[in-house]
Amino acid sequence: MKEKLEQIKTLAISEICTAENTKQIEELRVKFLGKKGELTNILKQMGSLTAEERPIIGQVANAVRSDIENALSEKKSLLEENEKNAQIEKEYIDITMSGKKPNIGHLHPLTIVSDEIKEIFLGMGFSVSQGSEVEFDEYNFTKLNLPENHPARDTQDTFYITEKILLRTQTSSVQVHVMEEEVAKAKAENRELSPIRIISPGRVYRSDAVDATHSPLFHQIEGLVVDKGVTMADLKGTLETLMQKLYGADCKIRLRPHHFPFTEPSAEVDVMCFKCKGTGCSMCKQEGYIELLGAGMVHPKVLQGCGIDPEIYSGFAFGLGLERIVMRRYGITDMRLLYENDVRFLKQF
Ligand SMILES: [Zn+2]
């Protein structure tokens, strides 16, 4: 019997040594020391022993039990320690590791340049006036000295919504609204007209064919100044300041006579080529200057139509194409790229 106890001890300790986790330790505890365990089975046979043998075997059995218990608890604490370390290893976070940079995007080149131009005009005392993209024929044409059947209407292929309502072909329509509102306000408050200094950036629509330099939707920035004693020199000074802020202090502009129905006199405004600085190159077709916008003194008929006396007040207006400025600024040769929303293109700005 004593031998059997020793065998159990040897077996138990060798199995405990090879246990791989705390779950196996618990299984071994039940197997050897549990109520139906191997040691208990032996002890049940104590009754068949003589009175002399009983205390001796009892002593051995107790020693075996305590040896197995010790082995179990030692191995268990070792395994617990290992399992804890494994858990820590698994959950380890390297706080010094650099993070993943979120992709936050940025403003569209049209917005970047538009904001820049707005900022320049705000600095010159202008305010920004937003108009409606859906407009009455009257405000888009008639009140801008373009009566019905005027040939110039044909040059602006118009999207009509109804016979009298259209998608504006130019931001000039905003001028008329601003002048009418100021006249009405001055009348209501029984005072003289306040000076008008506004720019109006926004989308305009023409049913053009789509190609590298035309799009049915594009952007204009309109400017209007009305006050007593406004002259062509004020117009030139304002535009020169704009161009110098956009393209550098040495930038020059020149005005060429032109015709627009809503201004008199009218001018095409050329800006000195920023590549060759006026000496002539392939970009400016050897001209030294590049046509950039249209401008002029507000036509007396337009002022009159809004209720402003052209004998007392005068004003200038200009309209520039935002796309043209953006394309020049960034060297973009195809306007369609600005509307395709191709991230590979937009990422470059
Ligand atoms: Zn040039």
Give the Å distance between the CA of 239 and the centre of ligand 1: 20
**Same domain for 74 and 116:** no
Please check whether residues 48 and 161 belong to one and the same domain: no
DSSP per-residue string spanning 21-71: SHHHHHHHHHHHHSTTSHHHHHHHGGGGS-TTHHHHHHHHHHHHHHHHHHH
Residues within 5 A (CB) of ion ligand 1: 273, 275-276, 281, 283-284
How many structural domains comprise the chain?
Answer: 2
For ligand 1, the distance from its centroid to the CA atom of residue 116, given in whole angstroms, is 24
Identify whether 308 is part of a domain.
yes
20 and 130 share a domain? Answer: no
Question: Are 120 and 169 in a shared domain?
Answer: yes
How confident is the model at residue 176, as a pLDDT? 93
Residue 96 domain-assigned?
Answer: no
pLDDT of residue 200: 95
Query: 274: which 2 tokens?
Result: 């920023």
Whether 80 and 124 map to the same domain: the answer is no
Give residue 290 CA to ligand 1 midpoint distance, Å: 8
**Do 61 and 185 sit in the same domain of this protein?**
no
* Ligand 1 centroid to residue 138 C-alpha, Å: 41
Residue 197 exposed, middle or buried by CB count within 10 Å (0-12, 13-18, 19+): buried
Q: Is residue 103 part of a domain?
A: no
Q: Where are the alpha helices (DSSP H) in 154-252?
A: 172-188, 232-247
- The alpha carbon of 236 and the centre of ligand 1 are apart by a number of angstroms equal to 21
CA dist 196 and 241 (Å) reads: 19
How far does the centroid of ligand 1 lie from the alpha carbon of residue 135, in Å? 39
Q: What is the pLDDT of residue 196?
A: 96
% pLDDT > 90, the chain = 46
* Per-residue pLDDT band at 155 (split at 50, 70, 90): low
Give the tens place of pLDDT for each residue, 32-41: 888 888 888 8
What is the reported pLDDT for 54? 82
**Angstrom distance (rounded) from CA 148 to CA 136:** 13
What pLDDT, on the 0 to 100 scale, is given for residue 128?
A: 95
Asked, for residue 258, whether it belongs to a domain, the answer is yes
Average of per-residue pLDDT across 236-242 = 95
221 falls in which pLDDT band (50, 70, 90)?
very high
Task: Tell me if 236 is assigned to some domain.
Answer: yes
Query: Positive or negative CA dihedral for 235, 238, 240, 243?
Result: negative
Give distance in angstroms: CA of 271 to centre of ligand 1: 10
Tell how far the Cα of 272 is from the centroid of ligand 1, in angstroms: 8
pLDDT higher at 223 or 26: 223
Tell me the CA–centroid distance for residue 281 and ligand 1, in Å: 4
- Mean pLDDT for the chain overall: 89
User: Which residue spans within 131-262 are E strands per DSSP?
Assistant: 134-136, 165-167, 196-205, 217-227, 253-260
> Is 101 among the domain residues?
no
CATH of the domain at 242: 3.30.930.10
Q: How far is the CA of 269 from the centre of ligand 1 (A)?
A: 16
pLDDT of residue 304: 94
Distance 279 CA to ligand 1 centre (A): 6
Tell me the per-residue pLDDT of 157-194, one tens digit each, with 9 for 90 and over: 888 899 899 999 999 999 999 999 999 999 999 999 99
Q: Which of 10-19, 230-239, 327-336 has the highest mean pLDDT?
A: 230-239
C-alpha of residue 248 to centroid of ligand 1, in Å: 15
Q: What single DSSP character describes residue 195?
A: P
Q: What spacing in Å lies between the alpha carbon of 276 and ligand 1's midpoint?
A: 4
Same domain, 86 and 118: no
What is the Å distance from ligand 1's center to 192 Cα? Answer: 47
Identify the domain containing residue 78 by its residue range: 2-90
Per-residue confidence (pLDDT) for residue 300, from 0 to 100:
96
Say which residue, 285 or 318, is predicted with more confidence. 318
Do residues 298 and 161 share a domain? yes
Centre of ligand 1 from the C-alpha of residue 253, in Å? 13
Spacing, Cα 270 to ligand 1 middle (Å): 12
How far, in Å, from the CA of 282 to the mean position of ligand 1?
A: 6
Identify whether residues 84 and 168 lie together within a single domain.
no
User: Has residue 154 got a pLDDT over 80?
Assistant: no
The residue among 42, 57, 90 that closes a domain is 90
Output the CA 249–ligand 1 centroid distance in Å: 17
Q: What is the 108 CA–ligand 1 centroid distance (Å)?
A: 27
State pLDDT tens for residues 255-304: 999 999 899 999 999 998 877 888 988 878 888 898 889 999 999 999 99
Show which of 56, 90, 124 is a domain's final residue: 90
Together in a domain, 125 and 186: yes
Judgement on whether residues 67 and 9 belong to the same structural domain of the protein: yes
Cα(171) to centroid(ligand 1), Å: 29
- Report the candidate in 289, 285, 279, 290 with the shortest Cα–Cα distance to residue 321: 290
Residues 120-131: what's their mean pLDDT?
94
pLDDT for 38 equals: 81
Asked if residue 106 has pLDDT above 80, the reply is: yes
Same domain, 84 and 116: no
On whether the CB atoms of residues 306 and 294 are closer than 8 A, the answer is: no
